[in-house]
Amino acid sequence: EVQLVDSGGGLIQPGGSLRLSCAASGFSVSTTYMNWVRQAPGKGLEWVSVIYLGGTTYYADSVKGRFTISRDNSQNTVDLQMNSLTAEDTAVYYCARGGGFGKYYFDYWGQGTLVTVSS
C-alpha cells in the first residue's frame, strides 16, 4: 500500500529555517517525481516544488532561492529545506507523488504538516 507521511512542521520565527520530511512506503521515491504542495489557512492549493527522476528540481517563484527539495533513495524520503521563512510561508505542507513518467498528476498525498511562521 502506498503511503506518504509528512513531518517536521512547527512554529518558527520569521527569518528562521525548517526542514520538512516525507517518508514514503509501498513504492520507491526513485521511481517517480515527487512534489511539495502547500495550503495557507483558509486558502487554496499552491504547488511549491518538484524533484524529477534525474534529480532536476523546480520551484514556485514564491520560494525560489529559499527552499530546496531533495531526495534520499536509501531512506525513501523526500525533504524540503525552508530558509528565510516569512509569515506568508505559513501553511499546511503536503508531499505528493507524481503519477509517473508522462503522467502529470499527483496520485497520492501525505496527510500534511503545519508550518506556522510567527514571532
Partner 1 sequence: EIVLTQSPGTLSLSPGERATLSCRASQSVSSNYLVWYQQKPGQAPRLLIYGASSRATGIPDRFSGSGSGTDFTLTISRLEPEDSAVYYCQQYGSSRFTFGPGTKVDIK
Exposed / middle / buried, residue 64 (Cβ in 10 Å: 0-12, 13-18, 19+): exposed
CA 45/CA 43 separation, integer angstroms: 7
Residue 31, phi then psi, degrees to nearest 5: -105, -5
Residue from 94, 113, 115, 117 touching partner 1 (CB under 8 A): that is 94
Q: What is the C-alpha end-to-end distance of the chain, expressed in Å?
A: 40
Residue 83, phi then psi, degrees to nearest 5: -115, 165
> Residue count at the site for partner 1 (CB under 8 A)?
23
Task: For partner 1, give the closer residue by CB, 77 or 113.
Answer: 113
64 interacts with partner 1 by CB under 8 A: no
Task: For partner 1, give the closer residue by CB, 72 or 107.
Answer: 107
Residue from 23, 58, 70, 76 touching partner 1 (CB under 8 A): that is 58
| Interactions with partner 1, residue window 20-49 (CB under 8 A) | 35, 37, 44-47
Residue from 75, 84, 86, 111 touching partner 1 (CB under 8 A): that is 111
Give the count of alpha carbons within 13 A of 67, CB side only.
Answer: 27
Catalog residues that contact partner 1 under the rule CB under 8 A.
35, 37, 44-47, 50, 52, 56, 58, 60, 94, 99, 102-107, 109-112
